[in-house]
Amino acid sequence: MSTFDVHRYRAEFPNLKINVHGKPLVYLDNAATTLKPRCMIDAVNAYYVTGVSNVHRGVHFLSEQATAAFEYSRQVVRQFVHARRVEEIIFTKGATEALNLLAQSYGRHFLKKGDEIIISYMEHHSNIVPWQMLCQQIGCVLKIIPMNDQGELIFDEYLKLLSEKTKIVSIVWVSNSLGTVNPVKALIDAAHQKRAIAIIDASQAVTHTAINVQELDCDFLVFSGHKVLGPTGVGVLYGKEKLLEAMPPYQGGGDMIKSVTFSGTTYNALPYKFEAGTPPIAEVIGLRSALEFLQTISWENMKAYKEDLLEYGTKKLLSIEGVRIIGTAKDKTSILSFVVEGIHPHDLGTLVDQEGVAIRTGHHCTQPVMEFFKIPATARASMALYNTKEELDTLVKAINKAKEVFNA
């Protein structure tokens, strides 16, 4: 692991220096949101201190500067996901909004009664509910790819669900509650064989692996900025240009129009057609900085480092009596969902918090997954590039302490 200097990276995350209840923070809730590197915070700060302006609508110096910074960020995102054209990058307020946009703009326009949409058992609620709403609106049908006890999608069952009726396949790349990495390329190719479009929710994948939308050949891909070291309130929708062109706008307002009269409105070109109103300018600029920071690190080294953390954490957790890990897929990211016999996840969360350890407890917005494993909730430790084995040791000690309190 000599190629990955974790302490060098840790130094870039000021939030790591705080104490919680008098103990050094151990932040293991990265699947909910990641901590932020100093360069990202500085970029947002600089916009607010010396660069405030609206974009795309002023001739003054600050407005031109903000517009240039905003549009340069789009270039950086294009390059980050390897999109063909910058017009294919739409800024949203998050992955959730991007998925709602797709359901309402693409889905409502191109689907009709009886058409089918396929999602998987392990989707985040944000990739379930927008499709359920669409089904209620137009009478299309939602189909669910089942999973096995390890928390892996059953590919043969997916192939059986696909038919001429399938119009959309919308799948999570990496499960936020199980850590499973889904075989997205194969899922996309199979969807295309039936002429369905493929949408990828890359919210957890963005910190796991390099993204190349052209190689994947996905039709759309979404992620949130705050899960990739960026600010909250900004997300990305990538879409193939010809599909985005054919879609009607999602929201109306300023910036998305070419001209407005009371007899009618003509819409702006891509990507602005989908960016009604003042966009999250500071957040877009911050996202750029976060992605640039991430790109200074070798994916290969980071992946190897996090795999090592996952292996270590898994071994350590399983050494505690009564711990059961939920989600044991062969291909997995550094997300450890688990339950401890005799302690409800919520109690565990509060007790390890006393030791300064931040984990997530609950259903992680994936209630069907909880129901599948017949548990109300899990505790989840999710690791980022700045976490260490020592921090996992602290987690294990905190769990053992909780067990003492509960005599579990």
Partner 1 sequence: MRDELYQQTILEHNRNPRNFKKLEGATHVSEGYNPLCGDHLWVYVKVDANGIIEEAAFEGSGCAISKASASMMTAALKGKSVDEAKVLFNEFHQLVIGELKPDEQPNHLGKLTVFSGIWQYPARVKCASLSWHTMHGALEKAKTISTE
- Tell me which stretch binds partner 1 (CB under 8 A): 29-37, 93-101, 303-311, 400-408: 400-408
Q: Applying CB under 8 A, does 405 fall inside the site for partner 1?
A: yes
Where in 13-72 is the site for partner 1 (CB under 8 A)?
21
- Tell me which stretch binds partner 1 (CB under 8 A): 200-208, 221-229, 337-345, 388-396: 337-345
Q: Applying CB under 8 A, does 393 fall inside the site for partner 1?
A: no
Please say whether the dihedral angle defined by the alpha carbons of residues 387, 390, 396 and 401, taken in this order, is positive or negative. Answer: negative
Alpha-carbon gap, residue 31 to 402, rounded angstroms: 23
How many residues belong to the site for partner 1 (CB under 8 A)? 18
- Rounded to a whole number of angstroms, the minimum distance from the CB of residue 316 to partner 1 is 24
Binder among 347, 358, 388, 393 for partner 1 (CB under 8 A): 347
- Rounded to a whole number of angstroms, the minimum distance from the CB of residue 267 to partner 1 is 38
In contact, 110 and 168? CB cutoff 8 Å: no
- Rounded to a whole number of angstroms, the minimum distance from the CB of residue 22 to partner 1 is 8
Nearer to partner 1, 33 or 166 (CB): 33
Q: Applying CB under 8 A, does 96 fall inside the site for partner 1?
A: no
In the set 39, 135, 140, 365, the catalytic residue is 365
Name, in order, each residue with C-beta under 8 angstroms of 408's C-beta and a sequence gap of 6 or more.
322, 340, 341, 342, 343, 402
Binder among 351, 352, 385, 396 for partner 1 (CB under 8 A): 351
Binder among 13, 356, 362, 395 for partner 1 (CB under 8 A): 362
**Does the annotation count 140 as an active-site position?**
no
Neighbours of 134 (CB within 10 A): 23
Tokens of 253: 């307002």
Binder among 231, 239, 286, 345 for partner 1 (CB under 8 A): 345
Binder among 370, 379, 381, 384 for partner 1 (CB under 8 A): 370
Q: Applying CB under 8 A, does 361 fall inside the site for partner 1?
A: yes
Nearer to partner 1, 128 or 205 (CB): 128
In contact, 209 and 238? CB cutoff 8 Å: no
Burial degree of 49 (CB within 10 A; 0-12, 13-18, 19+): exposed
- Tell me which stretch binds partner 1 (CB under 8 A): 256-264, 314-322, 369-377, 380-388: 369-377
Residues at the contact surface with partner 1, assessed by CB under 8 A: 21, 343-347, 350-351, 361-363, 367, 370, 376-377, 405-407
What are the residue numbers of the active site?
365
